[in-house]
Amino acid sequence: MEKLDEIDLKILRILQKKSNRTTKEVAKLINLTASPVYERIKRLEECGYIKKYVAILDKKLINIPITAICMVSLRYHDEGFIDKFDKQIKALQEVQECYHMAGKVDFFLKINLESLDKYHEFVRLKLSKIENIGVLESYFVLKEITSTTEYYI
């Protein structure tokens, strides 16, 4: 797929805000008929511009009110250790995001949990069991100012 034209961008902007729209609705929003919109969306999916469609749940209603951000530095930085850390983190389902960083810490983790007690447990039983962790600093979210999956396009 070559480049996205303005119509493609409009479709992406619409779908990243609300994906459960009918093709008709999207078509109406951009003054087209259903068929070209249908084909463009399909192309955007096939070419990977749209990775997936997901339902966003309400953290608090499903009883996961605590969000912690955790900064981790490794003691040793060989390739093997980093790959190992990578694999072990991926196995922890409480970890919603994990990034390998450039800067004075190696990793950022975002962790969602039921309670502070569970966080204590999580650190004690899971995180600290991962070998080679040097520094571990925890921060807790007091309030979500913004949190979106949208990109500014």
Summarize as ranges the residues that interact with DNA (CB under 7 A): 7, 21-24, 32-36, 38-40, 42
Query: 3-state DSSP call for residue 112?
Result: strand
Least distance to DNA from the beta carbon of 40, Å? 6
Q: Please state the separation of Cα 107 from the chain's center in Å.
A: 15
At position 52, the amino acid (one-letter code) is K
Token pair listed for 1: 């797929």
Among 69, 73, 71, which residue's Cα sits nearest to residue 139? 69
For residue 33, the partner it binds in a copy of itself, DNA, none, with Cβ less than 5 to 8 A by kind, is DNA
Q: Hey, which residues between 90 and 149 contact a copy of itself (CB under 8 A)? A: 90, 93-103, 105, 107-108, 112, 137-149
Least distance to DNA from the beta carbon of 64, Å? 23
Token pair listed for 82: 């980093």
The torsion defined by the Cα of 79, 83, 89 and 90, in degrees rounded to 10, comes to 150
Per CB under 8 A, the segment of 9-17, 30-38, 73-81, 123-131 that binds a copy of itself is 9-17
Token pair listed for 122: 């999580």
**Binding positions for a copy of itself, rule: CB under 8 A:** 4, 12, 15-20, 47-59, 61-62, 64, 67, 69, 86, 89-90, 93-103, 105, 107-108, 112, 137-153
